[in-house]
Amino acid sequence: MKSPLRAWPWLALWLALLATPVMAGLFDRFGDSTSERILEADQAFQLTLNVLDPVTLEARWTIAPGYYLYRDKFRLNVPDAPGISITALEIPAGESKEDPYFGRQAVFHNEAVIVARLQREPSSAQTVVVKANYQGCAEIGVCYPPLSQTVSVALPTPPPHPPGARAEMRADDSPRPPGEGTGVRAERYEAEQDRLARLLGEQRFLAIPAFFGFGLLLAFTPCVFPMVPILSSLIAGQGPNLSRGRAIRLSLSYVLAMAATYTLAGVLAALLGQNVQAWFQNPWVISLFSGMFVLLALSMFGLYELQLPSDWQNRLVEWSNRQRGGQYTGVAIMGFLSALIVGPCVAPPLIGVLTFIAVTGDLTLGAVALFALSFGMGVPLLIIGASTGHWLPHAGHWMERIKRVFGVMLLMVALWLLDRVLPAAIIMVLWATLLIVIATYMGALQPMVHGAPPWRTLVKGFGLVLLIYGVLLLVGVAAGGRDPLQPLRGVSLIANATGEAAALPFHRVKTVADVDRAVREAGGRTVMLDFYADWCVSCKELERETFSDRAVRMALADVVTLQADVTANDAADQALLHRFGVIGPPAILFFGVDGKERRERRVVGFMAAEAFKAHVQQL
């Protein structure tokens, strides 16, 4: 009998031979998996070089998720370019990371943007080759060797200087025009949303009060106005025994829910790169929400009582005796829905916060700034809701009349929502019908009774105004007008008298390929791309107030004007928004004669005609 110890070598050899194909297969799989997970360097780090002005370049790296670049590895130079040199690089601070290879390092995730300042001689070349050196790693522990990439760019011709004058260099190594220092101050333009993002990054928590103030200003935009009758009707529907304290608590429930919704939607938009509120602008959702307001309004007119079956009511009464928060929950739910459906507005402060979150990844500070911004928007609502509980009559016939007033306001909100999904002509007819019915109820067509109180005359006077405006709406829609606020605009006699065109002539684009083709075919002209949606209130403000202005049209006479309608929010729309890093409309982009976007000239939100004309002329 053989010893067991002598059999071990043979047993080990047999197991090794058996395991060889198995282990080889495992290693092959592991190798294939790793190769699939690790991107090529040019896929993980995509470099784009933009020319901001004759002496400023912008190098932008788009970094794939799960990868990062080292801050201290960036190098830019212009070899073989006589008369041109890079004198300074502006590199952001980056994020601190404990790297397994180099220790604690400053790195960049998602995106890295470097600004290079050039020094140029008058006879320098117009086209240069820029060499960029950089190095990065994947989070799974694989690092790339030092990388190098060359990009050819065309530099604009520097502005001419008067004879005998010499261009000096500023502290930031950009040319100083002759005469500066004698009271003339030249500053590089910076988009408002980018300036606000930089403010939040530099001042951090000191900027939170500033964003609260921006929210107070946004509270007076058309996106927040419809929330006033919604909250007021909720307060009025509580009955005649509503105390001021309860009105304040109900208003606070509404405003806090609205602010929390804006904050959550903003954080998701920054992480996903899409406007979450746009998902709720579906025509079916808007129609259902509008129909709910119509039902609430009809109940305030006394046509019926919105109530549950008696068995359910008895159970709810028993439940409410144990818990008094049910009505607060209902008001909070209405605040949540209002923030998603009523007011999907995009403004520079909001985009500034979203840009800060997307670039730095600091969700905590970004969420605090978003909450301060949205709570500032809700402060006027809080005041109005609390005041409504104090000013409302507590009993008698007046209370019924006040409820009817709020019913009319809810009908107006319903029409305001339907304006996003119905044709303009139908909306104008509905507005005219509502105004004429209200005027009739106010006694506009009835003779005044002798000895009637003065307030009755005042009510009839307002009714006559509404009646006349309702008739103008019908005349306007019959003559081709489509704007309820300016019903006679577009009517032939009015248009000829004022010399105004119906609308700015836009060339419609839908996909990324459409935009690229239009920019290529611009023939050396500046291109403007406007992002529009039917559910975007500020977009319609731009069309009505800014794009229809004669001075603005003259300023855009030599500009190729494109418009992307992203109302449907389908795959093509989302791809186009993602391509240019736009969260949602309104956003206006400008492309220079070289076909590159002038990102620092991007306009977000509404801009008045005079300011927009000056903005275009500076291009």
Helix (H, G, I), strand (E, B) or coil at 127: strand
- CA-CA distance, 475 to 429, in Å (whole number)? 10
Structure tokens belonging to residue 69? 């670049």
For CA atoms 422, 428, 432, 435, give the dihedral sign: positive
- CA-CA distance, 490 to 502, in Å (whole number)? 6
- Nearest Cα neighbor of 63 from 134, 6, 120 is 134
What distances in angstroms separate CA 557 from CA 287, 505, 560, one per listed residue? 39, 10, 8
Please return the burial class of 64, using the count of CB atoms within 10 Å of its CB with bins 0-12, 13-18 and 19+.
middle
Q: Tokens 């007021």 appear where?
A: 232
Those residues with Cβ within 8 angstroms of residue 216's Cβ, 6 or more apart along the chain or in another chain: 376, 377, 379, 380
The gap from C-alpha 27 to its chain's centroid, in whole angstroms, comes to 48
Low-confidence ranges of the chain (pLDDT < 50): 1-36, 160-187, 308, 313, 316-317, 319-326, 498-499, 501
DSSP string computed for 445-470: TSPPPTT--HHHHHHHHHHHHHHHHH
389 DSSP β-pair partners: none
Rg of the chain in Å (alpha carbons) = 32
What pLDDT sits at residue 397?
A: 60
What pLDDT sits at residue 189?
A: 60
For strand 527-532 and strand 560-565, is the pairing parallel, antiparallel, or unpaired? parallel
By the 8 A CB rule, do 428 and 404 touch? no
Tens-place pLDDT, residues 55-94 = 888 899 999 888 899 888 898 888 877 778 887 788 888 8
Structure tokens belonging to residue 289? 């929400």
Q: Tokens 């998902």 appear where?
A: 279
By the 8 A CB rule, do 101 and 37 touch? no
By the 8 A CB rule, do 166 and 179 touch? no
The torsion region of residue 197 among left (phi > 0), alpha (psi -120 to 50) and beta comes to: alpha
DSSP string computed for 273-331: SS-GGGGG--HHHHHHHHHHHHHHHHHHTTS------HHHHHHHHHHHHH---HHHHHH
By the 8 A CB rule, do 113 and 60 touch? yes
The H-assigned helical ranges of 419-511 are 424-441, 454-478, 492-498
Helix (H, G, I), strand (E, B) or coil at 141: coil
DSSP label at residue 545: I
By the 8 A CB rule, do 227 and 388 touch? no
**Length, in residues, of the chain:** 619
- CA-CA distance, 47 to 62, in Å (whole number)? 7
Structure tokens belonging to residue 607? 């801009």
- CA-CA distance, 131 to 272, in Å (whole number)? 32
3-state secondary structure string across 565-594: ECCCCCHHHHHHHHHCCCCCCCEEEEECCC
By the 8 A CB rule, do 82 and 44 touch? no
By the 8 A CB rule, do 92 and 27 touch? no
Cis, bond preceding 586 (omega within 30 deg of 0): yes
Q: Tokens 């001075």 appear where?
A: 551
148 DSSP β-pair partners: 133
Residue 472 has a CB neighbour count (10 Å cut-off) of 17
Helix (H, G, I), strand (E, B) or coil at 191: coil
What pLDDT sits at residue 391?
A: 59
The gap from C-alpha 31 to its chain's centroid, in whole angstroms, comes to 43
By the 8 A CB rule, do 534 and 420 touch? yes
- CA-CA distance, 540 to 565, in Å (whole number)? 12
Q: Side-chain half-sphere of 231: how many Cα atoms within 13 Å?
A: 35
134 DSSP β-pair partners: 147
Those residues with Cβ within 8 angstroms of residue 185's Cβ, 6 or more apart along the chain or in another chain: none
What distances in angstroms separate CA 489 from CA 426, 427, 483, 563, one per listed residue? 17, 16, 7, 22
For CA atoms 218, 222, 228, 231, give the dihedral sign: negative
What pLDDT sits at residue 240?
A: 61
Structure tokens belonging to residue 283? 């025509």
H-helix or E-strand containing 534?
A: none
Structure tokens belonging to residue 55? 């002496």
- Nearest Cα neighbor of 293 from 248, 251, 338, 242 is 338
By the 8 A CB rule, do 90 and 114 touch? yes
Max CA pair span of the chain:
133
Residue 134 has a CB neighbour count (10 Å cut-off) of 24
